[in-house]
A and B are shown apart, each in its own frame.
Chain A
Amino acid sequence: DIQMTQSPSTLSASVGDRVTITCRASQSVSRWLAWYQQKPGKAPNLLIYKASTLESGVPSRFSGSGSGTEFTLTISSLQPDDFATYYCQQYSTYGTFGQGTKVEIK
């Protein structure tokens, strides 16, 4: 099975900061990678698919990059609405999620 590892597990940041979250796969997933945002008590929301394609309606401050085994999610200027937990998911083989990265207010 493909394992997904996110880093860091928790990130403290301020409004306006540039934030980067990394996701590593235990074997190549090509570009079959998605990023989700989840807020407490809510279902996850798709942000990015195919590693770098922004889902419709998602603000352009979110971007994704990478291929193979290493991927990043970048928020160019953190907004108050962005404090949440972020998950990566590979869907090259089934659909393994990373363990999540919680973005907290510094």
Chain B
Amino acid sequence: EVQLLESGGGLVQPGGSLRLSCAGSGFIFSNYAMTWVRQAPGKGLEWVSGISGSGDIRHYADSVKGRFTISRDNSKKTLYLEMNSLRAEDTALYYCTKTRDIVIVASDYWGQGARVTVS
């Protein structure tokens, strides 16, 4: 059974930093691209960042480019999101997702989310 377990969320002051982690299990982690998607309270889904299975291709939404860094450690089956220079508008539930291929495509599994509050 595929499982994605996010951790590292919390309350941080504007300008602060936070690192989210997502531990994957039940699938060959290195064979699949992974993404982070966020959802602000009462709002829709916003794609944040994605990384290929090998980790050599990374993409970011314009809203986080230069502030967030996505990475993965395939030996630990873990995805990361390093978030710097946090703003109030980064407050959201951050979902880790597994995509259906080694490159970034549709997400077939989602974690339950890590809550980030910038205040």
> Residues of A at under 8 Å CB distance from B?
1, 32, 34, 36, 38, 43-46, 49-50, 55, 85, 87, 89, 91, 94-100
28 sampled A-B residue pairs with Cβ under 8 A: A34-B107, A36-B45, A43-B95, A43-B110, A44-B95, A44-B107, A45-B110, A46-B106, A46-B107, A46-B108, A49-B100, A49-B108, A50-B106, A55-B108, A87-B44, A89-B45, A89-B107, A91-B104, A91-B105, A94-B50, A94-B61, A94-B104, A95-B59, A95-B104, A97-B45, A97-B46, A97-B47, A98-B44
> Which residues on B sit within 8 Å (CB–CB) of A45?
110
Per the 8 Å Cβ criterion, residues 79-119 of B in contact with A are 95, 100, 104-108, 110-113
> Which residues on B sit within 8 Å (CB–CB) of A89?
45, 47, 106-107
Q: In whole Å, how far is A30's beta carbon from the nearest beta carbon of chain B?
A: 12
**Nearest 7 interchain pairs by C-beta:** A34-B106, A95-B47, A43-B110, A49-B106, A97-B45, A100-B44, A94-B59
Instruction: Specify the main secondary structure of chain A where it touches its partner.
Output: loop
B52 part of interface (Cβ distance < 8 Å): no
CA distance A55 to B45 in the complex (A): 20
Interface range for B: 20 to 34
